[in-house]
């Protein structure tokens, strides 16, 4: 992907990092498909062009500078890259033991994310996910890829354990509420009533020991937006590891997958969103070989007639949430952290402890932003919390380490 790599914070002012033309052509094809599917207007196309500038060129200033004191040597080998996938910026931060292997490792990691996007996207008409939803009669067992099977299997497990608070079958509802946010207009009761019968995780059957899936109702539309980015982040980190890069962080826009810590450290420092800091008693999580995800409506919401509707939908009712929460989840897998962070914003507050008890490998915290509920956190998350400075703002109020 990159023709030239910059190590540390050096580099001539204004210099650029060239991308492989074949990779650029492939990416332009993907964006063209996205434009056609989403029917983007002129303003949105302009915004995409701005994104392209960030995808195709990385300024040396985007690389972290060396920090004073004992971490200076560790930061000298830091590399950082970003690219647009799944509607968000995926950011790779790595400390390769050998800088010569970084080029191929990063290219392979982004290629893997692109493969997953091609399979799991609900925006692309030719994606494997959409073929499953549109090309087979109800009840037909369909052989799917291992990627899609893994994500569907875990999604169904989380749906069952949370009583449907997380549900990948909400695609018809997701499209209605996306249109509502875009048009700043509340969905009609008729549209919601017509969409609900085509949803329900009980209507999705995933074989436990073979990549077979069947949808039990016609016109279903699966939406993996609440789990696919975490899966992609984990897979990209796995690619980096297999290419010899152990110390790496993959940030998929709110979901972060972490490998070995940077040289000279015992952990990565991941900032805690401000609304959760008082509950947890600190502003930093110290993690390694884990994934972390946050969920809340700090960035995407609809405000109409004095009421605020989250981008998170309650699958049980079909309506966007009005109760404002924020959750953070630490888990062994990115897709589990992603799915549970969403579910914790939907589950009734008095049921949250029981839900989390079903996931003993998970640490989590959730709070209500209006202060009407004090929040809840698992007992073990306290051992991961610390108070530090020198962090910069990240997605959804999360702060991720840059030094």
| Residues 266-276, mean pLDDT to the nearest whole number | 95
- Given a cut of 80, whether residue 18 has pLDDT beyond it is no
For residue 372, CA distances in Å to 260, 274, 323 come to 39, 17, 10
Q: How much is the pLDDT for 309?
A: 75
Q: How much is the pLDDT for 52?
A: 44
Cα separation of 113 and 87, whole Å?
Answer: 12
Burial class (CB within 10 angstroms; exposed 0-12, middle 13-18, buried 19+) of 368: middle
Q: Name the more confident of 310 and 225.
A: 225
Query: Which tokens belong to 379?
Result: 């007992």
Segment 311-350, tens digit of pLDDT:
788 999 888 887 788 999 999 999 999 999 999 999 999 9
Cα separation of 284 and 216, whole Å?
Answer: 44
Q: How much is the pLDDT for 298?
A: 59
Q: What is the pTM of this model?
A: 0.79
- The CA dihedral of 80, 35, 166, 153, to the nearest 10 degrees, is -80
Q: How much is the pLDDT for 346?
A: 93
- For the chain, what percent of residues have pLDDT higher than 90? 61
End-to-end CA distance of the chain: 25
Mean of per-residue pLDDT scores for the chain:
81
The CATH number of the structural domain formed by 131-228+267-401 is 3.10.520.10
Contact 235, 112 (CB under 8 A): yes
What is the domain partition of the chain in residue ranges? 21-122+234-247, 131-228+267-401
Q: What is the phi/psi pair of residue 197, to 5°? A: -65, -15
The backbone region for 330, taken as left when phi is positive above 0, alpha when psi lies in -120 to 50, beta otherwise, is beta
The DSSP code for 167 is: -
Cα separation of 320 and 314, whole Å?
Answer: 6
Contact 160, 228 (CB under 8 A): no
Q: Name the more confident of 152 and 49.
A: 152
| Residues 268-277, mean pLDDT to the nearest whole number | 94
Q: How much is the pLDDT for 320?
A: 82
Give the 3-state secondary structure percentages of the chain, helix then strand then coil, rounded to 5: 40, 20, 40
For residue 227, CA distances in Å to 42, 64, 164, 167, 203 come to 30, 29, 15, 10, 19
| Residues 89-102, mean pLDDT to the nearest whole number | 92
Segment 46-79, tens digit of pLDDT:
444 444 444 433 332 233 322 222 233 346 689 9
Cα separation of 179 and 185, whole Å?
Answer: 8
Cα separation of 168 and 304, whole Å?
Answer: 26
Contact 8, 63 (CB under 8 A): yes
Query: Which tokens belong to 349?
Result: 């507050």
Q: What is the DSSP string of 350-369?
A: GGHHHHHHT-TT-EEEEEET
* Across 41-45, 100-104, 108-112, 207-211, least confident range: 41-45
- pLDDT band for 257, please (50, 70, 90 cuts): very high
Burial class (CB within 10 angstroms; exposed 0-12, middle 13-18, buried 19+) of 353: exposed
Q: Name the more confident of 16 and 295.
A: 295
Task: List b or e across 123-145, with b for residues whose CB sees 16 or more CB atoms inside 10 angstroms.
Answer: ebeebbbbebbeeeeeeeeeebe
Cα separation of 234 and 55, whole Å?
Answer: 21
Contact 401, 368 (CB under 8 A): no
| Residues 95-123, mean pLDDT to the nearest whole number | 93
- pLDDT band for 6, please (50, 70, 90 cuts): very low
Tokens 């790595």 belong to which residue?
A: 94
Q: How much is the pLDDT for 59?
A: 32
Q: How much is the pLDDT for 119?
A: 97
Cα separation of 384 and 318, whole Å?
Answer: 36
- Given a cut of 50, whether residue 393 has pLDDT beyond it is no
């Amino acid at each position: 992907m990159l023709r030239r790599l910059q190590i540390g914070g050096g580099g001539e002012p204004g210099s650029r990092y060239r991308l492989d033309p074949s990779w650029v052509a492939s990416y332009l094809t993907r964006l063209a498909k996205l434009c056609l599917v989403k029917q983007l207007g002129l303003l949105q196309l302009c915004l995409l062009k701005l994104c392209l500038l960030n995808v195709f060129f990385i300024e040396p200033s985007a690389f972290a500078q060396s920090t004073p004191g004992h971490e200076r040597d560790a930061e000298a080998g830091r590399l950082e890259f970003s690219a647009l996938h799944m509607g968000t910026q995926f950011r790779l931060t790595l400390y390769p033991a050998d800088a010569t292997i970084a080029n191929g490792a990063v290219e392979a990691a982004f290629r893997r994310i692109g493969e997953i996007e091609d399979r799991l996207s609900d925006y692309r008409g030719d994606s494997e996910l959409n073929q499953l939803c549109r090309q087979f009669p109800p009840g037909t067992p369909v052989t799917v890829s291992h990627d899609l099977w893994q994500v569907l299997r875990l999604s169904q497990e989380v749906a069952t354990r949370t009583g449907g608070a997380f549900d990948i079958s909400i695609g018809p509802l997701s499209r209605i509420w996306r249109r509502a946010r875009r048009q700043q207009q509340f969905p009609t009761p008729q549209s919601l009533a017509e969409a609900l019968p085509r949803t329900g995780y009980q209507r999705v059957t995933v074989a436990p020991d073979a990549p077979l899936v069947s949808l039990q109702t016609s016109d279903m539309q699966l939406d993996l937006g609440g789990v696919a980015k975490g899966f992609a982040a984990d897979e990209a980190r796995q690619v980096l590891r297999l290419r010899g890069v152990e110390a790496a962080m993959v940030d998929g826009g709110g979901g972060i997958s972490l490998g070995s810590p940077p040289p000279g450290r015992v952990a990565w420092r991941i900032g805690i969103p401000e609304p959760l800091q008082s509950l947890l008693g600190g502003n930093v999580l110290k993690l390694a070989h884990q994934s972390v995800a946050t969920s809340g409506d700090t960035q995407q919401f609809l405000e109409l007639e004095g009421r605020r509707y989250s981008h998170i939908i309650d699958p049980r009712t079909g309506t966007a949430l009005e109760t404002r929460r924020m959750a953070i989840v630490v888990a062994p897998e990115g897709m589990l952290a992603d799915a549970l962070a969403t579910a914790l914003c939907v589950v009734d507050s008095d049921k949250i402890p029981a839900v989390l008890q079903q996931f003993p490998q998970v640490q989590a915290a959730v709070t209500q932003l209006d202060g009407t509920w004090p929040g809840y956190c698992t007992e073990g998350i306290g051992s991961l919390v610390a108070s530090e400075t020198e962090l910069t703002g990240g997605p959804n109020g999360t702060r991720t380490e840059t030094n």
